[in-house]
Amino acid sequence: MLKKISDLHDMARGHSKRRLVLAAAHDAHAMAAVMHAYQNGLIDGVLIGDEVKIREIAENQRFDLSVFTVINEPDNARAAAGAVKMIRAGEADILMKGNLATAVLLKAVLNKEEGLRTGEQISHLSLFELSAYHKLLGLTDAGMNIAPNLDEKVSIIRNAVGYFNKLGIDKPKVAMLSAVETVNPAMKSSMEASIIAKMGDRGQIKNCTIDGPLAFDNAISSKSASLKCIESSVAGDADILVADDIDAGNSLYKAFIYFAQAKCAAVILGAAAPIVLTSRADTDETKLNSIALAAAVN
């Protein structure tokens, strides 16, 4: 059981270092995160971007660039393609977004001939350390898929479950969130949750236990589940929360951080390698934690 975000750091240090490639690396915030990850023993790094700007940033921030491989590519689209090519060739294990638009990076990732497609939906997985919960809590999808349909939700769940498996949790408990814990034909979230839960029962979604629909309180509070007479191995002990859409997921994500002061780590899944795609609004700690989450798996 993973209880703290620091467990991810320990896991990353517990095996051979992963190699991270930062696409369009001429970004002070992203470079700082990569440097801190290197200094914490989490990764080795490759910087692809405008070398002149990279070296200016390094001089201003007093970073020692000799510990990294620096590849000059001022064009952002070509830098993204070069970073993806390194992943495909086995020369890097983690892809990270630098000073370029998310759409440009994902275009390279999703390129049919030269990208990192796996057949799964590209999705966002976040992990939270919350003082009110007894273990790390996963949430998907809070940042990538706007209104996933049933098939897309199944793919999103497979991504999250597969990553939890790689983190050493053999059978994570997946809670399909809705506003209610009973099936209501008027509520799409409850209908799709019940279908996906049955798919889990039938073995169509493997290596996890799925239940739903579950309201948020039922999913994370055994007391709430008991008061509502819900009999479920997932209720009160969820490892992964699955939001119905990005509005619900993103609101929950930000509530955890801003109201509950949660520690957070997040990665993009569904490609052939984990992708670290942080925001400038993310704290330095969250950026470091996100790299640790990407580096924790073999």
Q: Which CATH number covers residue 211?
A: 3.40.718.10
Q: Strands (DSSP E) along the chain, which ranges?
A: 18-23, 43-49, 69-72, 94-97, 123-129, 137-140, 173-177, 209-214, 240-242, 263-269, 275-276
Tell me what pLDDT residue 281 has. Answer: 79
Tell me what pLDDT residue 279 has. Answer: 81
Mean pLDDT of 15-25: 96
In terms of residue numbers, what domain contains 47? 5-117+271-295
Q: What share of the chain has pLDDT > 90, as a percent?
A: 95
Are 216 and 168 members of one domain? yes
Q: Is residue 256 very low, low, confident or very high in pLDDT (cuts 50, 70, 90)?
A: very high
Are 128 and 109 members of one domain? no
- pLDDT surpassing 90 at residue 280: no
CA distance 57 to 66: 14
pLDDT digits (tens, 9 = 90+) for 156-190: 999 999 999 999 999 999 999 999 999 999 999 99
Are 148 and 223 members of one domain? yes
Q: Is residue 138 very low, low, confident or very high in pLDDT (cuts 50, 70, 90)?
A: very high
Q: Is residue 282 very low, low, confident or very high in pLDDT (cuts 50, 70, 90)?
A: confident
Are 172 and 251 members of one domain? yes
Tell me what pLDDT residue 124 has. Answer: 97
Q: Is residue 62 very low, low, confident or very high in pLDDT (cuts 50, 70, 90)?
A: very high
Are 179 and 275 members of one domain? no
Are 93 and 129 members of one domain? no
- pLDDT surpassing 80 at residue 293: yes
Mean pLDDT of 269-291: 92
Which pTM value belongs to this model?
0.95
Q: Which CATH number covers residue 21?
A: 3.40.50.10950
pLDDT digits (tens, 9 = 90+) for 226-255: 999 898 999 999 999 999 999 999 999 999
Q: In what order do the strands lie in the sheet with 43-49?
A: 69-72, 43-49, 18-23, 94-97, 275-276, 263-269, 123-129, 137-140, 240-242, 173-177, 209-214
Are 130 and 250 members of one domain? yes
Are 234 and 283 members of one domain? no
Are 250 and 288 members of one domain? no
Are 60 and 166 members of one domain? no
Tell me what pLDDT residue 131 has. Answer: 96
CA distance 194 to 268: 26
Are 23 and 92 members of one domain? yes
Tell me what pLDDT residue 167 has. Answer: 97
Q: Quote the longest CA-to-CA distance of the chain.
A: 63
Tell me what pLDDT residue 11 has. Answer: 96
Are 132 and 253 members of one domain? yes
**Total of domains in the chain:** 2
Q: Is residue 298 very low, low, confident or very high in pLDDT (cuts 50, 70, 90)?
A: confident
- Mean pLDDT over each residue of the chain, to the nearest integer: 96
